[in-house]
Amino acid sequence: MAHKHTYSAASRFWIYPVMIVFVLLAMLPFLYMVSLSLQSDAEMFSGQVVVIPEELQFTNYVTIWEKAPFARFILNSFIVAGTIAFLHVLFDPLIGYVFAKMEFPGKRFMFVALLSTLMIPFFVRLIPLYIMTAKFGLLNTYTGLILPFAMSAFGIFLMRQFILPIPDDLIAAARLDGASEPRIFFDIVLPQIGPAIATVALLTFVFQFNEFIWPLVVVSSENMRPITTGLTLFNQEFFTQWNLTAVGGMLLFLPCFLLYLVAQRHFVQSAMLSGMK
């Protein structure tokens, strides 16, 4: 609670054990994945509780590449998630700026229309988007994977919120000096919202790296699968080989885990921001 006392010794006696249980539970699947990925088939099938494998089977990390094109899966994920994040960096700040600092007829209507897209669940768009993608001949292509996520109201809204506090006087003065709107955007606005852009890029990348439903629907050729569906279909094929699925899981896990370690603050802050809308 938000007052200053420290917890009494009696409270600490139960608070810490409870916290340890929840922390362990939160980490359990990931710790289990690490252990499982290093177990031999025999150890995995033994039906015993294995915490640290007796002999660390690093060979699992070698054989996995032969069982399915995992290198290709990861490459696909990076290309798709990277491009989408790049598109957001390109468009979100500019459009956020227009809504934050420019006046034009229809502004309110367009902003409300933009925000209303946040209420459209993806599965409502799923069927028509699939049919559109098929009609454009974009099934099994990077373009097809990227297009439905190239822009989102969330990134634009976030940018607008960060640009709003920039003093209007600063921008008005630049306009009086004859600076063009693109110039104002690049020289005055952009330098002030660097961290916010990093947040949008990071969140978009991780979110898209984890995207599952759309590639499941739109990709049928194995070589175009991102790691999420690649791993899922691998697991369906080798459904008893949990140790190999765990290795594949590590490949999907590590990029996001490393980003979280480095930039945890960005994730936490943007989540809190969503709570204050």
Partner 1 sequence: MTYRQRRALTAYAFLSPAIVYFLIFFFWPIAIEFWASFRTGQPLIGESTYAGFTNYIAIVTDKLAIKAVSATMIYAIGSTVFTLVIALGLASILAGPLKARNTIRAILFFPYIVSFVISALMWKSILDPYTGLLNAALLKLGLPPQYWLTDPDAAIWVLVAVSVWKDIGYAVLIYIAAIQGIPSHLYQAAELDGARRFQLFRDITLPLLMPTTLFLAVVIMIASMQEMALPYLMTGGGPANATRLYSLHVYETAFQGLNIGYASALSFAMFLLILLITWVQFKLLNRDIRHV
Site for partner 1 in 174-203 (CB under 8 A): 181
Counting residues that bind partner 1 (by CB under 8 A) gives 91
Identify which of residues 75 and 114 has a Cβ nearer to partner 1 in the complex.
Answer: 114
Angle formed by the axes of helices 194-209 and 70-101, to 10°? Answer: 140
Q: How far is CA 212 from CA 82, 111, 135, in A?
A: 16, 29, 22
Residue 52 engages partner 1 in binding (rule: CB under 8 A): no
Q: Which of 9, 10, 42, 48 binds partner 1 (CB under 8 A)?
A: 48
Least Å from the CB of residue 65 to partner 1: 19
Residue 253 engages partner 1 in binding (rule: CB under 8 A): yes
Residue 85 engages partner 1 in binding (rule: CB under 8 A): no
- Please, which of residues 104-163 interact with partner 1 by CB under 8 A? 104-105, 107, 110, 113-114, 117, 119-132, 147-148, 150-151, 153, 156
In angstroms, the CA 70 to CA 230 distance is 7
Q: Which of 69, 210, 222, 238 binds partner 1 (CB under 8 A)?
A: 210
Least Å from the CB of residue 87 to partner 1: 10
Least Å from the CB of residue 71 to partner 1: 18
Residue 19 engages partner 1 in binding (rule: CB under 8 A): yes
Residue 67 engages partner 1 in binding (rule: CB under 8 A): no
In angstroms, the CA 130 to CA 224 distance is 16
- Please, which of residues 211-250 interact with partner 1 by CB under 8 A? 212-213, 216-217, 228, 231-232, 235, 240, 242, 245-246, 249
| Token reading at 260 | 């979280």
Identify which of residues 156 and 224 has a Cβ nearer to partner 1 in the complex.
Answer: 156
In angstroms, the CA 66 to CA 77 distance is 19
| Long-range contacts, 66-70 (Cβ 8 Å, 24+) | 67/234, 67/238, 67/244, 68/222, 68/230, 68/234, 68/237, 68/248, 69/222, 69/223, 69/230, 70/227, 70/230, 70/248, 70/251
Exposure class string for 152-177: b at 16+ Cβ within 10 A, else e: bbbbbbbbbbbbeebeeeebeebeee
Residue 15 engages partner 1 in binding (rule: CB under 8 A): yes
Least Å from the CB of residue 223 to partner 1: 19
In angstroms, the CA 160 to CA 101 distance is 9
Phi/psi of residue 233, nearest 5 degrees? -75, -30
Least Å from the CB of residue 236 to partner 1: 9
Of the listed pieces 11-19, 57-65, 137-145, 159-167, which binds partner 1 according to CB under 8 A? 11-19
